[in-house]
Structure formats: structure tokens, C-alpha cells
Amino acid sequence: MTQTASKDTYRTANVPVRGGTLHTAIWGPDDPGTPTILAVHGVTASHKAWPYLAEALPEVRIIAPDLRGRGRSNSLPAPYGMPSHAEDLAAVLEALAPGPVVVVGHSMGAFASLVLANLFPERVSSLVLVDGGLPLQVPAGISDAEVISSVLGPAAERLNATFPSREVYRSFWRQHPAFSADWGPLVEAYVDYDLTGEEPELRPATRYQAMAEDTAELHRGASLLKALDELAVDTVVLRAPRGLLNEPAALYAPGYLDEWAAKLLSLRVREVPDVNHYTIVMGSPGAAAVAESVREALRTQ
């Protein structure tokens, strides 16, 4: 494992995994005994989704990898899917965190976190699932391509696009309804990090194949259903009341998560007001709510 430090608390490490290394960011103190969490990003994101949470939890060490097929881990080979991500995450924890940790997963990262807790229970003390983790509500018989289009929309479409400059890509994101009122330096850094290649043919880092394979598991994946059926750790699900485009139709309809909580004794649901699917982690109010649930989980660890 190689590690690179910077002048503040942010540094990076490369952790050996199947087919190469998983690029991983670390925020927070390195002192022995520092409370540590693992943060797992969404389907087309990267570790740069987590700086708001790092600001909200300065006393906590946050370990946040770029998942296989994303960010600076995008050269790692298939297969993708939740079990593959769980194996990668377990390798990261083995390298960087000796004991069980609180795992925070956003969007698809919440699904991977559940499977991690199921396959590697010794690595996970509790789960904070942020607008994700429970099977998506999709019509019966819908194809995987239709799921991608209906759930992700422009987030998936951009993966096949090229951009002539970083500024054009920033403009693309500035116009995104989720960020139109919440643009700032941390969002811009997230957007800049997402690009690979050279002008005038810059591309988003996430591999379309990785996104497609992973999205197919978010409503019918056997590993996910097994993880939910065997859920054995304290779990809180934070729901955003607005969707990926800041629309009133959220990722999870009102009441749907409560139905799951009624079936799973270790699962609790909380709604975070005035956030969408992105700003629940990539905005200060949303990150503060996530941080509150993390601190609660750490107190009971």
C-alpha cells in the first residue's frame, strides 16, 4: 500500500485489491484511538462526495475509496456488483482500520455497505445508509436499461459524453437542478475530479459498464436481498425528500422505508428535511444530519 499526505488532514492511499489498487482518501486525525468510519459513495460518484461530511466530523477519521470502476479506481477490471465492492471495501478496512467501524453508504454505496456487513460482519459495527440500501421501487418486468434511464437519467447519460473543457463540464453541472442553489468550491472540486483524459475530449471517470452492472442489482440483487434478510447490525436509513433532479418525487416514496423498518427490527428510518438525493451528503445541512447519525452510532459502538 502506498500513501500520500497533504498539508491538511486529507491524504490518499492505494490499497491492493483484485486487479490492481483501490484509490482511497482519508480525512481526519491519525492518532491511535481516533474514531474511524468508512464512507462509500454512489453509483457515478467518487470519494470527492465526502468533503462536506469531513468538515462536519473533524474529530473522526473518514476512509473513503473510489469504488471499482470510478474515480482513480476506474481502471480496475470487472466483474463489478455488490459482492465485488464488498470484497474491495473489506481489503481497505484490513489495510487501514484494525477494528470494526461504522460504515456510511450513500445511494449505491448504501447497497454495497449492506453486503459488506453481511459478507464481512467482523468489519462492521453499524450502518448509516443515506438515501439508499433498500430495493428500488421499479415496475415488475422492467429491463435493466429502463431502470438506468428512469432512476439515473442524465447521471447515466453523461457517462457516454465527451466535454471539450473543464469549464464546459462545470457549466453542465451548474445547470443541474440538484446543485443550482448549492454550488460551491467543494461541489466544483467534485466535478473537476470526475474528469479524465485531455481537452478537447474529457470524459467522466465512471465506466458505463460498472454503472450498468451495479444498477441492475439495486432492485433484484441476490446479495442485497440476502443481506437484508440476515441484517444483524444496528442500521439507520436517512431519507432525502427530493430526488436526483431536486424533484418532489424522491428516490423512495413516503412510507416505503417505514414498511421495511416494520419488518427489520435493527433498522430505523429518519427523514432529512430540505435536501435532495445529492445534497443530503454534498451540502452542509445534509452533511450535518449525516454527521449526527454517525456520532450516535459511534457512541454506541
The pLDDT tens digits for 31-82 are: 988 999 999 999 999 999 999 999 999 999 999 999 999 999 999 999 999 9
Q: Which domains does the chain have, with CATH numbers?
A: 2-138+210-299 (3.40.50.1820)
The pLDDT of 114-119, averaged and rounded, is 99
* 238: β partners: 130, 270
| Helices marked H in the chain | 51-56, 82-96, 108-119, 144-147, 154-157, 166-174, 185-193, 208-215, 217-220, 222-229, 256-263, 284-299
The pLDDT of 275-284, averaged and rounded, is 98
Compute how many other C-beta atoms are within 10 angstroms of the C-beta atom of residue 175. 10
Query: pTM of this prediction?
Result: 0.95
The pLDDT of 115-124, averaged and rounded, is 99
Note whether 240 and 272 are within 8 A (CB): yes
What pLDDT is recorded for position 2? 54
Name the average pLDDT for the chain.
94
Task: Report the candidate in 155, 162, 247 with the shortest Cα–Cα distance to residue 203.
Answer: 162
Q: What is the DSSP letter of 163?
A: B
What pLDDT is recorded for position 5? 36
* 56: β partners: none
Confidence category of residue 301, pLDDT binned at 50, 70, 90 = confident
Strands 20-27 and 11-17: antiparallel
Note whether 127 and 114 are within 8 A (CB): yes
What pLDDT is recorded for position 293? 99
Cα–Cα distance for residue pair 41/274, rounded to 1 Å? 21
The pLDDT of 271-277, averaged and rounded, is 98
pLDDT digits (tens, 9 = 90+) for 19-28: 999 999 999 9
